[in-house]
Amino acid sequence: MGYTFRFEPVFERFDQLLEGAWLTIQLSGSAMLVGLLVSILFALLKTSGPRPLAWLVNAYVELIRNTPFLVQIFFIFFGLPALGMRLTPNSAALLALIINFGAYGTEIIRAGIESIAKGQIEAGFALGLKRLQIFRYIILKPAMRAIYPALTSQFIYLMLTSSVVSAISADDLTAIGNNIQSATFAAFEVYLVITLIYLFLSIGFSSLFKLVERVAFNYPLSR
């Protein structure tokens, strides 16, 4: 084992790594925000939309969930320009992440919608609550609570998946790592530091989400 680790050239570029981490947070954050809107729309279509539309949404969900993200991003980045749609690596990456998240998000939100018992809403009417109050306290909040754990862990999964966008050289933490790697040839050291940054990000976000959960949904469960 005559290997000498070279971490200095990696730590010399720590500002680049921090910038890469910020890029990854921005990319996955914006994909999540837009992806959530897509998910809400599609979940409503799937549960109460017209039949052909519900079928289409279902096909989209199944297709995305049963193919690798790498192939999806190749299809979007290389395939769409063949149809005359020019995309930069960054916009292709964002689009692919939104489409990918949308499929998982649709299923999560659909489950949330279906978790609200009808009797709960009727009970609200019986108590003389207004429509808006019923929506806010009886539908929205319990549904949010039901989907919150799945949604937040899906975000962390999205952030980890986003490292794949480096394959089309979009800007993110892994792509910065690839650049540093080709400048320093300290491959293992670079990717070890990057892996630890990802670990730090996912543990950080999951602690933050748990904290928010404790504050926002602190009322006791029924039963």
Partner 1 sequence: MIRPFGFNEFLFILTAVQWTIALSAIAFCGGGLGGLGIALARTSSMKLLRLVTTGYIRLFQGTPLLMQLFLVYFGANIFGLPLNAWIAALLALSLHASAFLGEIWRGCIQAVAPGQNEAATALALNYRDRMRYVILPQAARIAVAPTVGFLVQLIKGTSLASIIGFMELTRSGQIINNATFEPFKVFGVVALIYFSLCWPLSLLARRLERHFARSTAR
Site for partner 1, rule CB under 8 A: 1-3, 62-63, 65-72, 74-75, 78-83, 156, 160-161, 163-164, 166-167, 174, 187-188, 191-192, 194-195, 198-199, 202-203, 206
Residue 79 or 137: which CB sits closer to partner 1? 79
CB atoms within 10 A of CB 36: 19
Residue 42 or 69: which CB sits closer to partner 1? 69
Say if CB 205 and CB 155 are below 8 A apart.
Answer: yes
Record the tokens describing residue 38, joined without a space.
């897509």
In the complex, least distance from residue 130 CB atom to partner 1, rounded to whole angstroms: 37
Residue 106 or 161: which CB sits closer to partner 1? 161
In the complex, least distance from residue 93 CB atom to partner 1, rounded to whole angstroms: 14
In the complex, least distance from residue 17 CB atom to partner 1, rounded to whole angstroms: 13
- Looking at residue 13, the DSSP 8-state letter turns out to be T
Residue 55 or 137: which CB sits closer to partner 1? 55
Query: By C-alpha distance, which of 19, 47, 65, 16 is closest to 181?
Result: 16
In the complex, least distance from residue 175 CB atom to partner 1, rounded to whole angstroms: 11
Q: What b-and-e string marks burial along 143-162, b requiring 16 or more CB atoms within 10 Å of the CB?
A: bebbbbebbbebbbebbebb
CB atoms within 10 A of CB 1: 2
Residue 90 or 153: which CB sits closer to partner 1? 153
Say if CB 158 and CB 108 are below 8 A apart.
Answer: no
Write the CB contacts of 149 (distance below 8 Å, at least 6 apart in sequence).
213
Residue 132 φ/ψ, nearest 5 degrees: -65, -40
In the complex, least distance from residue 160 CB atom to partner 1, rounded to whole angstroms: 4
- 169 φ/ψ sector (left φ>0, alpha ψ -120 to 50, else beta): left
In the complex, least distance from residue 3 CB atom to partner 1, rounded to whole angstroms: 4
Residue 138 or 189: which CB sits closer to partner 1? 189
